């Protein structure tokens, strides 16, 4: 069947993925891959949003030069970040990066004005200092001209769609990441807006994944020399797209979307908003077909990626396979970190911060590259067990194993250690989960698939799934007990 394109934007790179259905199976081809590098300007870290828009147009041009007639496109990206459109229809400033320091300590200031319990009861979203609600409050505290001059707030995919189509819409899965959308009332929470001094007019209509959001506008078609094509709102938070691509057979399943961030949880029909989910800092983000993703953010492979960047700056260049090989040869269970400790959030010298964490918790710090990488990967696997068991408790379900999707599944050591840690099978695949989920929602919108479960069946038949069975259970059980005690995560 015809060609459709998913633009899948991650925190470090983006890609244009071509999708086709041939003999009932999905075929994907990478048309274009590009880096997504944040830009430091003075004291602030920004996304280079116009470069990302340029790269999307390059993807469409590459399809044209290859003689591919694209029938539709969809865009997904990370959540929480946004841009403001002014009254003249132009972008005001470059969007801030979620790791920018302007939200440091802002949560405490906002909670002094509006209790955390009230925010969680209204939104069901976990508290992270970079959530949109805190970014907006930080802008308000700084008297940012964006808030005076801004007419509409658009999340990153919303913004790129606006550039392409001229139409301004917000999309459901990404709207929920703002911590300003009420999933019970199924609308923006205007009471929160009013209490925090945010304007209703900033937030527009909310499209469900699978809605047609517009057509390529004439100026884009003229520039690129292509016909106008439909642009769909998919599950535009990339985790929402990744979960759409989980090849589950049982409607009760656990997933881990593994990349720069690790996001673990399950799919539920109604948000789980109660004292326990708030205490455990779980979140209820929008999914496809009216579902919610009950999940928790875990720092993920960011710590390893940032460590590798530091070694490269020091003149020591290692490929990820080399790092995994060194980790496999290092002594097991020598030191642990809590990957979600605030030490590891901002860019910087991760090996030094790991050593600092170990000193603070009475451990001997890892020294060699292999020891450091092993510490990171073992700690991630053990944190996965902790979150996996809490997900079962909150959802009232028992999971037979864990579906891992995303680029992180190429780290076979992490996959195996995750199975060892949770004591249940791990099913790894597909690696391009977000792009495949993006494509699947476009096909559902076109009537090619009747629903997400038919799409998941086709995904399961189209891509290899590797099963990792748990090993060394006794050793990993003892390691988990030490990990929980040393990190204090259960307190």
Give Cα separations from 17 to 62, 256, 356 (angstroms). Answer: 11, 22, 41
Q: What is the helix (H) or strand (E) element at residue 4, kind and residue range?
A: strand 3-9
Decide which of 3.30.365.10, 3.30.300.20, 1.10.486.10, 3.30.420.40 is the CATH code for 246-429+465-491. Answer: 3.30.420.40
Domain chopping of the chain, boundaries: 3-233, 246-429+465-491
| Contact between 232 and 19 (Cβ < 8 Å) | no
- DSSP for 32-59, please give it: EEEE---EEETTEEE--HHHHHHHHHHH
CA atoms within 13 A on the CB side of 161: 32
Q: Give yes or no on whether 3-233 and 246-429+465-491 have one common fold.
A: yes
| Catalytic residue from among 8, 81, 238, 341 | 238
Among residues 135, 156, 157, which one has the least CA distance to residue 146?
135
Cα gap 477→301, rounded to integer Å: 23
Decide which of 2.170.130.10, 3.30.420.40, 3.40.50.300, 3.40.630.30 is the CATH code for 3-233. Answer: 3.30.420.40
pLDDT digits (tens, 9 = 90+) for 116-157: 999 999 999 999 999 999 999 999 999 999 999 999 999 999
Cα gap 182→118, rounded to integer Å: 12
What's the pLDDT at 1?
67
- DSSP for 352-401, please give it: HHHHHHHHHTT-PPP-SHHHHHHHHHHHHHHHHHHHHHHHHHHHT---SS
The whole-number average pLDDT for the span 194-221 is 97
8-41 CB burial, b ≥16 within 10 A, e <16: bbbbeebbbbbbebeeeebebeebbebebebeee
Residue 475 has pLDDT above 90, yes or no: yes
Q: What is the helix (H) or strand (E) element at residue 436, kind and residue range?
A: helix 433-445
Question: How deeply is 112 buried, as exposed, middle or buried, from its count of CB atoms within 10 A (0-12, 13-18, 19+)?
Answer: exposed
CA atoms within 13 A on the CB side of 84: 20
pLDDT digits (tens, 9 = 90+) for 279-300: 999 999 999 999 999 999 999 9
Residue 491 has pLDDT above 90, yes or no: no
Identify the residue whose tokens are 């690790």. Answer: 262
What's the pLDDT at 325?
97
Cα gap 211→444, rounded to integer Å: 10
pLDDT digits (tens, 9 = 90+) for 297-318: 999 999 999 999 999 999 999 9
Cα gap 147→136, rounded to integer Å: 8
Residue 50 has pLDDT above 90, yes or no: yes
- How many other CB atoms sit within 10 Å of the CB of residue 290? 12
Cα gap 93→249, rounded to integer Å: 45
What's the pLDDT at 62?
98
What's the pLDDT at 295?
96
- DSSP for 206-244, please give it: EEPTTEEEEE--HHHHHHHT----EEEE---BHHHHHHH
Give Cα separations from 211 to 29, 267, 454 (angstroms). Answer: 24, 21, 18
The whole-number average pLDDT for the span 194-213 is 97
In the annotation, is 37 catalytic? Answer: no
The whole-number average pLDDT for the span 461-472 is 97
Given pLDDT bands bounded at 50, 70 and 90, which one contains residue 445? very high
The whole-number average pLDDT for the span 106-112 is 97
pLDDT digits (tens, 9 = 90+) for 356-366: 999 999 999 99
The whole-number average pLDDT for the span 21-27 is 96
Residue 268 has pLDDT above 90, yes or no: yes
Length of the chain: 491
Mean pLDDT rounded to a whole number for the chain: 97
Among residues 426, 428, 421, 413, which one has the least CA distance to residue 389?
421
pLDDT digits (tens, 9 = 90+) for 378-393: 999 999 999 999 999 9
Among residues 275, 164, 173, which one has the least CA distance to residue 226?
164
Q: In DSSP terms, which residues pair with 254 in a beta bridge?
A: 266, 402
| Contact between 166 and 217 (Cβ < 8 Å) | yes
User: Does pTM top 0.85 for this prediction?
Assistant: yes
């Amino acid at each position: 069947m015809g060609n459709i394109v998913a633009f899948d934007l991650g925190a470090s790179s983006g890609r244009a993925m071509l999708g086709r259905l041939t003999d009932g199976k999905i075929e994907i081809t990478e048309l274009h891959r590009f880096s997504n590098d944040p830009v430091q300007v003075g004291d602030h870290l920004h996304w280079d949003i116009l470069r990302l828009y340029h790269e999307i147009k390059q993807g469409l041009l590459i399809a044209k030069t290859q003689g591919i007639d694209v029938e539709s496109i969809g865009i997904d990206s990370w959540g929480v970040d946004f841009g403001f459109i002014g009254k003249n229809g132009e972008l005001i400033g470059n969007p801030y990066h979620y790791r920018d320091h302007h939200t440091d300590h802002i949560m405490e200031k906002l909670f002094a004005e509006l209790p955390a319990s009230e925010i969680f009861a209204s939104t069901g979203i976990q508290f992270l200092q970079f959530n949109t609600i805190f970014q907006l409050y930080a802008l308000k505290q700084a008297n940012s001209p964006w808030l005076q001059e801004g007419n509409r707030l658009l999340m990153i995919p919303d913004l790129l769609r606006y550039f392409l189509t001229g139409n301004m819409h917000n999309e459901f899965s990404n709207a929920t990441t703002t911590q300003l959308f009420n999933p019970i009332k199924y609308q923006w929470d205007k009471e929160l807006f009013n209490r925090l001094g945010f304007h209703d007019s900033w937030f527009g209509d909310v499209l469900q994944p699978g809605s047609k959001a517009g057509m390529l506008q004439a100026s884009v078609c003229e520039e690129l020399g292509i016909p106008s094509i439909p642009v769909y709102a998919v599950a535009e938070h990339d985790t929402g797209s990744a979960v759409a691509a989980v090849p589950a057979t049982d409607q009760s399943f656990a997933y881990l979307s593994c990349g720069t961030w690790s996001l673990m949880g399950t799919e539920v029909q109604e948000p789980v908003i109660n004292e326990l989910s708030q205490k455990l800092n779980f979140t209820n983000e929008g999914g496809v077909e009216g579902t919610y993703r009950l999940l928790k953010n875990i720092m993920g492979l960011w710590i390893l990626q940032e460590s590798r960047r530091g070694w490269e700056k020091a003149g020591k260049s290692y490929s990820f396979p080399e790092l995994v090989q060194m980790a496999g040869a290092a002594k097991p269970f020598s030191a642990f970190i809590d990957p979600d400790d605030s030490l590891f959030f901002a860019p910087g010298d991760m090996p030094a911060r790991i050593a600092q964490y170990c000193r603070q918790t009475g451990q001997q710090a890892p020294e060699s590259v292999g020891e450091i990488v092993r510490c990171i990967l073992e700690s991630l696997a053990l944190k996965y067990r902790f979150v996996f068991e809490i997900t079962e408790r909150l959802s009232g379900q028992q999971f037979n194993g864990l579906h891992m999707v995303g680029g992180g599944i190429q780290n076979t050591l992490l996959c195996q250690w995750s199975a060892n840690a949770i004591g249940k099978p791990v099913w790894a695949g597909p690696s391009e989960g977000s792009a495949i989920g993006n494509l699947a929602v476009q096909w559902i919108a076109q009537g090619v698939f009747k629903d997400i479960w038919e799409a998941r069946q086709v995904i399961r038949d189209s891509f290899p799934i590797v099963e990792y069975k748990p090993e060394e259970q006794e050793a990993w059980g003892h390691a988990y007990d030490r990990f929980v005690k040393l990190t204090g995560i259960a307190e």
